[in-house]
Amino acid sequence: DVKVTQSSRYLVKRTGEKVFLECVQDMDHENMFWYRQDPGLGLRLIYFSYDVKMKEKGDIPEGYSVSREKKERFSLILESASTNQTSMYLCASKLAGGGEQFFGPGTRLTVL
């Protein structure tokens, strides 16, 4: 079974803090993705990575950065958390060229 894990299920941070969200997959997938999901807005792509050290902006990259130093790990960084970044964050991975994408359990981030 493909497994995508995320470092935290629930996280509470204060405005201005630097926040790290970690994602690990165990299926040797080249592609990894970070989304946020908000009621009524659906899934929105923040960043994705084709392969190690390769990244591309998604639809809403402002206020976020990413790091992919190893194939299995993709990190999302909120440089200075703001209240409008309170959301459910979802990581996903898939094989390059393929369609089947697998999601992690999500991290519900609250910024106070």
| Site for other proteins, rule CB under 8 A | 4, 31, 33, 40-43, 45, 48, 50, 58, 88, 90, 94, 96-106, 108
What the block records as the tokens of 29 is: 């997938």
For residue 3, give Cα distances in angstroms to 17, 23, 75, 110, 112: 29, 10, 16, 25, 31
Question: Cα–Cα distance between 106 and 112 in angstroms, integer?
Answer: 19
- Closest CB 9 distance from other proteins, rounded Å: 9
- Closest CB 42 distance from other proteins, rounded Å: 4
When the beta carbons of 17 and 59 are compared against other proteins, the nearer one is 59
- Closest CB 90 distance from other proteins, rounded Å: 6
When the beta carbons of 17 and 54 are compared against other proteins, the nearer one is 54
CB of 52 within 8 A of CB of 69? yes
